[in-house]
Amino acid sequence: MTNHASHKPIKKAVFPVAGLGTRFLPATKAIPKEMLPVIDRPLIQYAVDEAREAGIEQLIFVTGRGKTAIVEHFDMAFELETTMKDREKALDVLEPTRIQPGNLVTVRQQVPLGLGHAIWCARAIVGDEPFAIFLPDELMIANKGSTGCMKQMVEAYNEVGGNLISVLEVPEEEVSSYGVIAPGASQGALTEVKGLVEKPRREDAPSNLIISGRYILQPEVMRVLENQGKGAGGEVQLTDAMAQMIGHQPFHAVTFAGRRYDCGSKTGFVEATLAIALEREDMADEVRAMARRLLGEG
């Protein structure tokens, strides 16, 4: 794991947000699932906050039909802000939703051909630069006193360059539900990636380190995706493209110091809402008491 000082900085991030969110119907009939709130912030806001903390400037949303609310959320809300000013209400609550003009770009994924295809749709905007990928369904909450997942990854990238993925340790009985890495040499939170295995049987799993929804990839992945056929489920799989990069460029995994909540599932969404509420000073005591009452313990 050699140390290089001059890697191109990570200034662009791709957010694949074209999915239909069918698991959350009817809530997602008219509202994108990324706009569903975890307490008082839409899911997409958590990912954008994490990106900005990591020094990312340009946000690239790969959208589909009916997803305009995501873009509206990060636009100026002139009437709302004027009304709030007139009523002398503080505007800082809207601060995280403000994106510098020109730093939000959207591109359409017209056909639902999978995650790899969604990333490839952003190729013209990514250009010849390394870039980050955020899967907003995966809500990553750092441990107290630690930085967000992408900031941890950018710090690792500044040391080793190449491609990085975020991983988490899970109990061995859970590995068959996820993509898993075949690990090489390890140093602190950084592990060399020798291979990627999608949903292995427990006895065949090369590790218990699962791939979570944060990536830093070199632009060459776009060329790989360009020429790649459809994989599992008839979709263009990002994992297949990443696997082809192993051995040609440095490839590492960063074990995230924090927790992941799968907000693509209803129970995961409820868990994330409760976990964040219990960490917020303005609500923790009340929510804890409420939980006890609901569980018949209060």
Over the stretch 3-29, which tens digit does the pLDDT of each residue have? 444 689 999 999 999 888 889 999 999
The answer on 212 and 274 residing in a single domain is: no
Domain extent, residue 275, equals 265-298
Q: Could you tell me which of 97, 119, 109, 106 has the C-alpha nearest to residue 37?
A: 97
Does residue 101 surpass a pLDDT of 60? yes
* pLDDT at site 269: 96
Q: Are residues 201 and 124 in the same domain?
A: yes
Does the residue 5 lie in any domain? no
What is the rounded average pLDDT of the residues 158-183? Answer: 91
Query: Does 113 or 159 have the greater pLDDT score?
Result: 159
What per-residue confidence (pLDDT) applies to 232? Answer: 67
Residues whose CB falls within 8 Å of the CB of residue 108, separated by 6 or more in sequence, listed in order: 18, 62, 63, 64, 121
Please give the pLDDT value at position 80. 86
* Same domain? 62 vs 81: yes
Give pTM, 2 decimals: 0.91
Q: What is the mean pLDDT of residues 292-296?
A: 91
Claim to verify: residue 241 and residue 291 sit in the same structural domain? no
Same domain, 291 and 249: no
Q: Where residue 184 sits, what CATH number does that domain have?
A: 3.90.550.10
295 and 230, same structural domain? no
Report pLDDT for 11: 96
With respect to residue 2, please indicate whether it lies within any of the assigned structural domains: no
Distance (Å, rounded) from C-alpha 12 to C-alpha 129? 8
Mean pLDDT, to the nearest integer, of 242-247?
90
Q: Are residues 139 and 224 in the same domain?
A: yes
273 with 208, same domain: the answer is no
Residue with structure tokens 């209060």? 298
- pLDDT of 250 strictly over 80: yes
Question: How much is the pLDDT for 252?
Answer: 96
Q: What pLDDT sits at residue 201?
A: 87
Closest to 7 (Cα-Cα) out of 114, 154, 199, 194: 154
Total domains in the chain come to 2
Q: Kindly state whether residues 119 and 238 are assigned to the same domain.
A: yes
Same domain as 271, residue 258: no
Instruction: Report if residue 169 sits inside a domain.
Output: yes
Mean pLDDT of the residues in the chain: 89
Q: Tell me how many helices (H) and strands (E) the chain has.
A: 10, 13
User: Does residue 4 fall inside a structural domain?
Assistant: no
Of 49-58, 103-112, 250-259, which gets the smallest average pLDDT?
103-112
- Contact between 14 and 110 under an 8 Å Cβ cutoff? The reply is no
> Does the residue 160 lie in any domain?
yes
Q: Is 285 found in the same domain as 252?
A: no
93 with 178, same domain: the answer is yes
